[in-house]
C-alpha cells in the first residue's frame, strides 16, 4: 500500500470546540469529552460508533491518555493512540487515523483534546516544567532557565541574524491574526492591534514581545473521521483527507539541527506529494502560531516562500482578511485560544472553511486547506491537506 492510496479515502465528518477561554468550573477531561460529544452529534454518530481513540494530555493527571479519556467517556476502542509529540500530535493523529480507517483497523476515529491551562496556572508561555530536580536530558537545559518562549526566541534571534528578519515583520503576523479574530465571536482577543502595539508590548525573551506570544486559555476540541464511503451517509458534507505528513527533528531546542528550519520541511513535502496538489492550490492555511516566529519558520519550511524570505512574505498584511494568503482565519493561538497545545484547532478551522461555515471570515470558494501543527520547541510537525468533496 502506498500512502497516496489514502487520497480521498477518509473523511472528517465532525468537528467541535468545547467551552473556550476561562472555564474554571470544568476539568480538562470534561472539556475534551464535551467537545467529543458535540463533534459526534454534528456527524450524526454516537460514542458507541467510536472504535478508535487518539489523544494526549501532557499535564498533571494525563498519563496513559487514550485509556484515560476512553474510560472517561465509556468507550472501549480497538485502535488506540496516545502519541505525545506536543501540540502537533492532533494533526499527526489525522494521518494515523486515516491509515487505521483505510486499512480497516477502525471505522470511526475520535481525536480529542482538553486542557485547563489558564485555570491551572495562568500566565503566558510558562515554564517547561516546574521540577526542582531534573532527571533525563532536559537537565542540560532547565538549570539555565530555558522556557518555551525562551526556546522560540533563540530561533527568532538566529533567523534575524541570518536573514535580516525584523520585529516589524514578526508583528505583521500578530496584527493580521487579530483582524481574523475580530470576526470570530469565539476568539478571546478581538480588539484590533497595530504593529506599534506589538513592538511596544513588554519584552518577554528578546526578540519576542508579549504580543508575539500565544494566549494561554482553557479549551477542548474534537475531530471525528471515518471512511469516505460511510461519510456520505452522515449529516455533514464530508471533508476529504488529501495528503498528510509528520516528522520530528529533536526534543530540546539546543539539539535542533538548524534553528531556522522546522520539520515541516519534511512533513509538508510529504503532504503535498501525497495530496497531489501544489502550493498555489491551497486556498486557506491554518498554521500553528504558538509564537509569531513559529508561523514565519513554518511558511518557509513548507515552501510557501524561500528560506529567509518569510519576513517579506508576511509583510503588507498579506495573511490578513482580504490579503492574498488567508491564514489562521479563526484568530489563531495568538488571538483565539491556546490551551497549551493548539493543533486540533487548526484542523477544526480548516474543516469549517472547506464546508463554507465561517460567516464573515469565510474564505470565498475555499476548496483546498492546509493545516500544520508544531509541537515541543519547534520539534515536531504534522501537516495535512484537506479538500472539499
Partner 1 sequence: MAQIPLPRPYQDTEAYWSAAKEHRFVIQKCRDCGEHQFYPRGVCSHCLSSALDWVEASGSGTVYSFSVNYRAPHPGFAGKTPFVLAIVELAEGPRMMTNIVDCDPESVRIGMPVVVTFDDVTEEITLPKFRPA
Q: What values do phi and psi take at 220, rounded to 5?
A: -135, 160
Q: How far is the CB of 254 from partner 1 (least distance, A)?
A: 4
Query: Which residues are CB-contacts of 256 (< 8 A; sequence separation ≥ 6)?
Result: 155, 249, 250, 377, 378, 379
Helices 167-181 and 292-302, axial angle in degrees (round to 10): 100
225 burial level (CB within 10 Å; 0-12, 13-18, 19+) = buried
Residue closer to partner 1 by CB (options 134, 312) is: 134
Q: How far is the CB of 217 from partner 1 (least distance, A)?
A: 19
Q: How far is the CB of 378 from partner 1 (least distance, A)?
A: 12
Handedness of CA 293, 294, 295, 296 (dihedral sign): positive
Give the strand pairing for 79-81 and 52-54.
parallel
Q: Is 58 in the site for partner 1 (CB under 8 A)?
A: no
163 noted as active-site residue: no
User: Which position among 146, 231, 285, 296 is part of the footprint of partner 1 (CB under 8 A)?
Assistant: 146
User: Which position among 61, 103, 131, 235 is part of the footprint of partner 1 (CB under 8 A)?
Assistant: 131
User: Which position among 21, 44, 127, 323 is part of the footprint of partner 1 (CB under 8 A)?
Assistant: 127
Residue closer to partner 1 by CB (options 130, 322) is: 130
Q: Is 321 in the site for partner 1 (CB under 8 A)?
A: no
Q: How far apart are CA 176 and CA 234, in angstroms?
A: 36
Q: Is 147 in the site for partner 1 (CB under 8 A)?
A: yes
Q: Could you say which residues in the range 248-277 bind partner 1, by CB under 8 A? A: 252-255, 259
User: Angle 177-367-281 (CA atoms, 0-180°, nearest 5)?
Assistant: 80
Q: How far is the CB of 160 from partner 1 (least distance, A)?
A: 9
Q: Is 333 in the site for partner 1 (CB under 8 A)?
A: no
Query: In the block, which residue shows the cell 505525545?
Result: 84
Dihedral angle over CA of 289, 291, 296, 297, nearest 10: -100
User: Which position among 24, 104, 145, 365 is part of the footprint of partner 1 (CB under 8 A)?
Assistant: 145
Q: How far apart are CA 196 and CA 194, in angstroms?
A: 5
288 noted as active-site residue: yes
Residue closer to partner 1 by CB (options 64, 140) is: 140
Q: Is 199 in the site for partner 1 (CB under 8 A)?
A: no
Q: How many residues bind partner 1 (CB under 8 A)?
A: 42
Residue closer to partner 1 by CB (options 157, 166) is: 157
Q: How far apart are CA 61 and CA 67, in angstroms?
A: 12
- Contact between 243 and 385 under an 8 Å Cβ cutoff? The reply is yes
**Where along the sequence are the contacts to partner 1 (CB under 8 A)?**
126-137, 139-147, 149-150, 153-158, 161, 202-208, 252-255, 259
Catalytic residues: 288, 336
Amino acid at each position: 500500500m502506498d500512502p497516496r492510496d489514502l487520497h480521498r479515502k477518509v473523511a472528517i465528518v465532525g468537528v467541535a470546540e468545547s467551552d473556550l477561554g476561562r472555564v474554571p468550573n470544568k476539568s480538562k477531561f470534561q472539556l475534551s469529552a464535551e467537545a467529543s460529544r458535540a463533534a459526534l452529534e454534528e456527524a450524526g454518530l454516537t460514542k458507541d460508533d467510536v472504535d478508535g481513540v487518539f489523544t494526549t494530555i501532557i499535564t498533571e493527571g494525563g498519563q496513559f491518555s487514550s485509556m484515560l479519556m476512553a474510560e472517561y467517556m465509556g468507550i472501549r476502542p480497538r485502535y488506540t493512540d496516545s502519541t505525545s509529540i506536543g501540540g502537533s500530535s492532533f494533526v499527526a493523529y489525522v494521518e494515523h487515523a486515516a491509515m487505521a480507517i483505510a486499512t480497516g483497523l477502525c471505522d470511526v476515529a475520535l481525536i480529542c483534546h482538553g486542557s485547563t491551562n489558564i485555570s491551572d496556572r495562568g500566565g503566558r508561555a510558562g515554564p517547561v516544567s516546574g521540577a526542582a530536580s531534573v532527571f533525563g536530558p532536559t537537565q542540560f537545559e532547565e538549570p539555565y532557565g530555558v522556557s518555551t518562549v525562551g526556546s522560540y526566541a533563540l530561533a527568532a534571534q538566529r533567523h534575524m541574524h541570518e536573514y535580516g528578519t525584523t520585529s516589524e515583520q514578526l508583528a505583521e503576523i500578530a496584527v493580521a491574526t487579530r483582524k481574523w479574530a475580530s470576526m470570530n465571536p469565539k476568539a478571546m482577543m478581538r480588539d484590533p492591534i497595530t504593529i506599534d502595539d506589538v513592538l511596544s508590548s513588554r519584552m518577554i525573551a528578546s526578540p519576542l514581545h508579549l504580543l508575539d506570544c500565544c494566549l494561554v486559555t482553557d479549551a477542548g476540541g474534537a475531530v471525528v473521521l471515518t471512511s469516505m464511503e460511510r461519510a456520505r451517509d452522515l449529516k455533514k458534507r464530508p471533508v476529504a483527507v488529501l495528503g498528510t505528513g509528520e516528522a520530528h527533528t529533536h526534543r530540546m531546542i539546543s539539539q535542533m539541527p538548524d534553528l531556522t528550519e522546522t520539520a515541516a520541511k519534511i512533513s509538508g513535502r510529504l503532504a503535498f506529494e501525497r495530496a497531489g496538489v501544489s502550493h498555489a492550490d491551497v486556498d486557506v492555511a491554518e498554521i500553528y502560531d504558538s509564537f509569531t516566529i513559529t508561523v514565519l519558520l513554518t511558511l518557509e519550511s513548507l515552501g510557501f516562500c524561500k528560506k529567509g524570505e518569510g519576513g517579506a512574505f508576511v509583510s503588507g498584511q498579506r495573511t490578513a482578511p482580504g490579503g492574498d494568503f488567508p491564514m489562521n482565519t479563526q484568530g489563531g493561538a495568538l488571538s483565539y485560544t491556546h490551551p497549551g497545545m493548539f493543533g486540533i484547532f487548526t484542523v477544526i478551522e480548516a474543516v469549517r472553511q472547506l464546508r463554507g461555515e465561517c460567516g464573515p471570515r469565510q474564505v470565498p470558494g475555499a476548496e483546498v486547506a492546509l493545516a500544520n501543527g508544531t509541537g515541543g520547541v519547534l520539534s515536531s510537525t504534522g501537516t495535512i491537506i484537506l479538500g472539499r468533496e
